[in-house]
Structure 1
Amino acid sequence: MDKGFLERPRASAEAQRLYDADVERVGFVMNLSLLWAHEPTLHSGLFDLFERAAKAGGLTFRQRSVLVAACASVMGDAYCSLAWGNRLASVAGADVAGRVLRGEDDQLDADDRVLAEWARKLARDPNATAAGDVQALRDAGYDDGQIFGITTFVALRIAFATINDSLGAQPDHELLLAAPDPVLEAVTYGRACG
């Protein structure tokens, strides 16, 4: 495990709950959790917001995976690219996941493609979005409330990645071991795996 640039967090019941949740969900304590254990209530609050934004956006697991893989790859965030690239591979196939991580959306259906494009625009330069970009989301069937939820979800993921990357979180070795070849080949950026 690698805690990043911060000292190891002090032991607390809240931190232990964070670690225990990792072990239950993925089988190991994630490097990210060693950072967030400094303020576990911020972690739980942020993840509650993720869920609320995803619900407001009407997002499926696959759509969440497309959004996170697209924005994380543009940001050069290896941690979230590996984690969500693996998740996308589990629901869309390894080749699709690898292509989304490389910015190639030709194997996505039109609805997923518009989500990937939106996520990348937000991650690259949110000031460069235009009414036509929002209209593309409407044309894909999203109403304005869903568009707000989708945008909030991506913005929160960008904030999460920024915190993790800024504080030196390295992708877990387990993520690397679980990644299919197309995902591994696409993630050539960010911090090396811990």
Structure 2
Amino acid sequence: MDETGFLRPPDPTDDTQRLYEEDIADLGYVMNLTRLWAHQPATSDGLFDLMRRSLADHGITPRQRAVLVAACASAFGDSYCSLAYGTRLADAAGEQTAAGVLRGDDDGLTGVERALAGWARKVARDPNHTGERDVQALRDAGFDDTQIFAITVFVALRIAFSTVNDALGVRPDAPLGAKAPPAVLGAVTFGRPVSA
């Protein structure tokens, strides 16, 4: 069951059709993860709304958001979001920089972005071992405590999203794998393989 992972396709409803049509309008195809989350469209809508609101009005740029997700997803071992956001980061910062972030090498990032990537990895790998020094690194990069809270909530929500996708066997879409730059594709050596 490649398209929806380990679950059978959800029963068709107006809400599942809406999710599918949104993907087709945006991407030209229905993502595998959308087919999974179509089991509970309201939960999907709520989670994505919460992720958007967690960073709204906190000055986080799209490039910084891509850094957060690429660093978090790769540290967590999620191939789907690593490919998606590695590709977005490649568009914004270059293919080699994006591949580096996915491998844990932040040399191509600014100091602020390095602080974000480091924090995202710590939250994804072992949140019980973060400390005041880790938070201070974000303050030193220019983030205030409200922004640090927002960034942490966003990363935690991304982990929740990835956990559901990974646990239920959803594989990255074939078009996503085809679109990923070669260096990004080569850096994602973990998680579930791209769909056939």
Contact 1:86 1:97 (8 Å CA) reproduced? yes
CA separation in 2, counterparts of 1:7 and 1:56?
39
Give 1:5's aligned residue: 6
Give 1:142's aligned residue: 143
CA separation in 2, counterparts of 1:4 and 1:54?
30
Once superposed, what is the RMSD of the aligned Cα atoms? 0.9
What is the deviation of 1:2? Answer: 1.1
Give 1:38's aligned residue: 39
Q: Which SS does the other structure have where 1:118 is aligned?
A: helix
CA separation in 2, counterparts of 1:63 and 1:26?
22
Give 2:92's aligned residue: 91
Q: Which aligned pairs between 1:11-50 and structure 2 lie closer than 5 A?
A: 11-50=12-51
5+ long unaligned stretches in structure 2:
none
Contact 1:56 1:150 (8 Å CA) reproduced? no
Normalised to the residue count of structure 2, the TM-score between the two structures is 0.97
Could you report, residue by residue, the CA deviation over 1:33-85 in whole angstroms, capped at 9, with x for unpaired residues?
Answer: 11000000000000001101121542111011000000100111100000110
Aligned AA (2:33) = L
CA separation in 1, counterparts of 2:58 and 2:47?
16
Give 2:122's aligned residue: 121
Aligned AA (2:194) = C
The percent of aligned pairs where both chains have the same amino acid is 58
5+ long unaligned stretches in structure 1:
none
Q: Which SS does the other structure have where 1:63 is aligned?
A: helix
CA separation in 1, counterparts of 2:65 and 2:45?
18
Q: Which aligned pairs between 1:55-134 and structure 2 lie closer than 5 A?
A: 55-134=56-135
Give 2:190's aligned residue: 189
CA separation in 2, counterparts of 1:47 and 1:169?
18
Aligned AA (2:66) = S
CA separation in 2, counterparts of 1:193 and 1:56?
35
What is the deviation of 1:101? Answer: 0.2
